[in-house]
Amino acid sequence: MNLKNSGVILLMFMMVFIISACSSDGEKVSTSSNSPNGQTTADVPQEIVVRVNDDPDFLDPHKATASISYQMIMNLFEGLMAPETNGSLKEGLAESYEVSEDGLTYTFKIRQGVKFHNGDDLTMDDIQYSFDRLMGKNGGEKMSNNFDNVASTEAPDASTFVIKLKEPNSNFLYSLTARQSAIIPKSNDGKHNENPIGTGPFAFVKYAPGTNLELKKNDNYWQEGLPYLNKVTFTFQSDDQAAIMSLMANEVDLTSVPWHRVSEVEGGYNLTHQNNNSSLIITFNETKAPFDNVKVRQAINYAISKSDIIDSVFAGYAVPLGSNMSPAMGDFQKKGLESMYKRDIEKAKALLAEAGYPDGFKTKITVSSHNDMYSNIAQIAVANLQEIGIDVEIEVVEWGIWLDRVYFGRDYEMTTIDLTGRASAYEVLNDYISTNDSENFFLFKNDEYDKIMTDVLKETDQAKQIEYYHRAQEILAEQATAVYIADYQIVWGADKQVTGLKSYPFWFHDMSEVQFSN
């Protein structure tokens, strides 16, 4: 998907935060330089502390699944292609590329002089190794489904890498960013998680589980003049209220602000509103009764009040959804689906009776503790569902347990989570393909949906792609695959001395151009 060709550019978010920072030990690292925009950084500390909700699930970019991981580790790694803030792509480690007329052959010219954080030169062996590892070649475990359509890869010379596909794929370039296929050194095999090495603007220093992830400036970064910061510390703090206290105490320089506490930090900090470009959902394990019955899922959709959740949990900082696509995706979102399940308790009761549950049933909703909003959403859902006879127990577990048991293990009945925004419409909807074992934790299966998602990759006309994506969203709504609640806004609170933090249509704290200035 090329977002330059749709109205989504106007909705994609570019934000510039102004932040001040102090190092973790309180000492300032002074620098004196002028940035390209003329701002002086003289005698201003070039170290930043960024609060995130929890630990990364993996530091190995090929194993990481949680969006919270990519917020941080994409500062370490790069792919052949790189994301833009408007959702389009630009060249990354590839300085140029060509696609054959039949759409099957992608030829990349690789940048010369790029070094890994350990000082080794980037070579074709490293690029070949990275793709072989992702595809599970040479006896390894396959780590991605994105390359099942790859027929072959080869490096005909020291600066050229060629990927040949079995069938055309209009979305393939989106699989080549650091988020999907980071290039990592072959020499680090077996140590990518405990000692991650990439080519990105920052290098790994240390990881203290439950405490922080520390990065340092890559002095050999191939983009001249970048980065500006000497040190980046991602500190883990799950409690939103405690994070606000840390911001006010100058212990962190950037954090999300709870919607109900915005007024407390207005004036003293820069506040920026960012559309999340995600889908906040309450969803089901569709292989477990009674959630294998579409009428039960529809009844729950009619019973849950999206407006109660938006008002109570997000203080109005959200827009209701009707399927798995945010309005931030512009023309690719199917409008009108948000009103398909207008709250109707009597209709919900009737559907339950038709499904064989006239007196309701008991179930459990499992939520992660890494963000308070999930428990708050669950409490509202429990109250709503009591009105139609469904008795729901709330189970709160740690983030790591949620990932292991719910996301990977599929051992759950109901859950609530926000599905991370992606740069392309295909990636947003890809989670529901029945053969996407790594991401389809709903265990949703629909033949028409699968066919649509196969056919859209062969379609080069964007208008026809949009038709496919609209129908896919309709299927998800009709099948009540989840309660599609809202895309909520993030309110960022930051100090007033730093510029340059950019926003993407997915979670990524890009530190490459952040700097402190007077």
- The pLDDT value given to residue 55: 95
The pLDDT of residue 501 is: 79
Q: Which of 117-126, 448-457, 508-517 has the least mean pLDDT?
A: 508-517
DSSP class per residue in 59-113 = SSTTT---HHHHHHHTTT---SEEE-TTS-EEESSEEEEEE-TTS-EEEEEEPSS
Domains 77-189 and 279-490 share a fold: no
Query: Domain boundaries in the chain?
Result: 1-75+200-263+495-518, 77-189, 279-490
* pLDDT tens by residue, 67-122: 899 999 999 999 999 998 888 899 999 999 999 999 999 999 999 999 999 999 99
Lowest mean pLDDT among 42-56, 158-172, 472-486: 42-56
Residue 407 binned pLDDT confidence (cut-offs 50, 70, 90) = very high
Q: How far apart are CA 494 and CA 271, in angstroms?
A: 7
Q: Above 50 in pLDDT, residue 1? A: no
Residue 34 pLDDT class (50, 70, 90 cuts):
low
Confidence of residue 35 (pLDDT cuts 50, 70, 90): low
Triad 64, 321, 370: Cα angle to 5°: 40
CATH superfamily of 1-75+200-263+495-518: Periplasmic binding protein-like II (3.40.190.10)
How far, in Å, are 165, 172, 312, 404 from residue 149 at the CA level?
Answer: 6, 9, 45, 28
Question: What pLDDT is recorded for position 13?
Answer: 34
pLDDT above 90 covers a percentage of the chain that reads 74
Q: What is the mean pLDDT of residues 198-204?
A: 98
Comparing C-alpha atoms, which of 49, 57, 50, 51 is closest to residue 398?
57
**Given a cut of 50, is residue 10 above it in pLDDT?**
no
Per DSSP, helices labelled H in 355-410 are 372-386, 399-402
**Three-class DSSP category at 212:** strand
Q: How confident is the model at residue 499 (pLDDT cuts 50, 70, 90)?
A: confident
Query: What's residue 24's pLDDT?
Result: 36
Q: Which residues contact 227 (CB under 8 A, 6 or more apart)?
A: 201, 202, 217, 218, 221, 511, 512, 513, 514
- Looking at the DSSP bridge assignments, the partners of residue 394 are 365
pLDDT tens digit sequence for 213-245 = 999 999 999 999 999 999 999 999 988 889 999
CATH class (in words) of the domain with range 77-189? alpha beta
Q: What is the mean pLDDT of the chain?
A: 90
Q: Which CATH number fits domain 279-490: 3.40.50.970, 3.10.105.10, 3.20.20.370, 3.30.70.3170?
A: 3.10.105.10
